[in-house]
Amino acid sequence: MSTPPKGKLALPELLEMKRRGQKIVMVTAYDSPGARFAEDAGVDIILVGDTAAMVVLGHQGTTVPVTMDEMLFLTRTVVRAVRHPIVVGDMPFGSFQVSDEKALENAIRFVKEAGADAIKLEGAGPMVSRVRAIVEAGIPVMGHVGLTPQSATMLGGFKTQGKTADAAAQLVEGALALEDAGAFAVVLEAVPAPVAAEVTSRLTVPTIGIGAGPETDGQVLVYHDLLGLTEGHLPRFVKRYASLSREIRDALEHYAEEVRDGTFPGDEHTYGMEDAELEAFRSSISPTATSASDQTNDAATSASKSLSPTPVSEPPLRKTSSP
Ligand code: KIV
């Protein structure tokens, strides 16, 4: 008997996991296959991160250009694919900085139009009132402090944050303010491990680390980074669990080679037909191009004319996957 699919992970369960010392697993995903793989692997939270700008949409070294409409589109595809993990939509740059009202409007779009369970937004300080406004409207918010890529230019690049005593103290204050505003969890990105441990012990809500050492309540990695789909330089905190870009390149090269040398498609990928039908088909089109290789070009031309155009109502020979 197959086990029934698990229902949605309840948000308060994350608090219980923190209390029990059970690590929370979060990963990013941007499409249905990725989301399904994550759910099947037992991931607790899927973040539809604005890293989509770089890993999906091809922007170089910045998350800033991704738009609300693009994030909603990606979030919808993830939401459609999963039942159990909490799906968090990441608010893109420009969607929440202007005012509490604008932030709330856009957070509502994530829930209403994309079906997200929660949203995440970057920063503390002035962003704390955004978090409060969104939570007060009934939408769960995940905070994000430390390296906040949307403000990378202000922060001097993609650099570790909270490395001085003052900066570390500010980071702790920021995380506490986010919790006070109602955030259900806080991402700590690229901060020294002792600072992340301190924040984790002071907060009641879980911390989710990325480049924040082992003592946060959970971990998050970007899907493309951990699977080896990202090529080029990776931050120190990324661990690659597979080398999929190599595998994909090899597979595509192999395919191209086989198309060019005629190895693909083989008999096993090819549809035939009954001999009698084939015979009837051949004699129904006269003169034939296939059986009259000795005929003139004129005859071949007229045969090809008699075969085309293909009736528009004819069903396609194959859909996207094999029958
Ligand atoms: O956008 C993203 O993927 C993120 C994670 C790196 C936390 O914010």
Distance 27 CA to ligand 1 centre (A): 9
pLDDT at 322: 39
Q: How far apart are CA 223 and CA 51, in angstroms?
A: 10
301 strand-pairing partners: none
pLDDT given for residue 257 in this prediction: 98
* 189 has catalytic annotation: yes
pLDDT string in tens for the chain (323-residue length) = 556 668 999 999 999 999 999 999 999 999 999 999 999 999 999 999 999 999 999 999 999 999 999 999 999 999 999 999 999 999 999 999 999 999 999 999 999 999 999 999 999 999 999 999 999 999 999 999 999 999 998 888 899 999 999 999 999 999 999 999 999 999 999 999 999 999 999 999 999 999 999 999 999 999 999 999 999 889 999 999 999 999 999 999 999 999 999 999 999 999 999 999 999 999 999 775 554 444 444 444 444 433 443 444 444 444 444 33
Task: Report the C-alpha gap between 124 and 129 in whole angstroms.
Answer: 9
Please check whether the domain covering 16-242 is classified as CATH 3.40.30.10: no
E strand or H helix that includes residue 199: helix 193-202
pTM attached to this predicted model: 0.88
CA distance 139 to 108: 8
Give me 300's structure tokens. 């071949």
Whose tokens are 């159990």? That residue is 84
Q: Find the Cα–Cα–Cα–Cα dihedral 205, 210, 214, 217, rounded to 10°.
A: 20
Nearest to residue 118, comparing CAs of 221, 270, 9?
A: 9
Pick the atom of ligand 1 nearest to 49's CA. Answer: 1
d(CA 242, CA 144): 27
Report the DSSP beta bridge partners of residue 143. 186
Whether ligand 1 lies within 6 angstroms of the CB of 122 is answered as: no
The residue to which tokens 């991931």 are assigned: 43
The protein residue with its alpha carbon nearest to ligand 1, atom 4, reads 49
Query: Does residue 222's CB lie within 6 angstroms of at least one atom of ligand 1?
Result: yes
Going from the Cα of 218 to the center of ligand 1, the distance in angstroms, rounded, reads 14
Selection from 150, 149, 161, 196 nearest residue 175 by Cα: 196
Task: Provide the 3-class DSSP secondary structure of residue 28.
Answer: strand
49 lines ligand 1 (CB under 6 A): yes
Q: Whose CA is nearest to atom 2 of ligand 1?
A: 49
d(CA 306, CA 247): 45
Residue 306 has what pLDDT?
A: 39
Instruction: Give the pLDDT confidence score for residue 157 in this predicted structure.
Output: 85
What pLDDT is attached to residue 288?
A: 52
- 3-state secondary structure at position 45: strand
210 CB less than 6 Å from ligand 1? yes
Q: Is 90 near ligand 1, meaning CB less than 6 Å away?
A: yes
Which alpha helices (H) appear in 113-192, and where do they start and end?
128-136, 165-180
- Domain positions in the chain are 16-242, 272-300
Residue with tokens 């968090």: 88
Q: Which of 39, 122, 189, 198 is catalytic?
A: 189
* Closest C-alpha among 280, 283, 282, 285 to residue 308: 285
Phi and psi for 90 in degrees, rounded to 5? -90, 125
**Spacing, Cα 16 to ligand 1 middle (Å):** 24
Classify residue 115 as left (phi > 0), alpha (psi -120 to 50) or beta. left
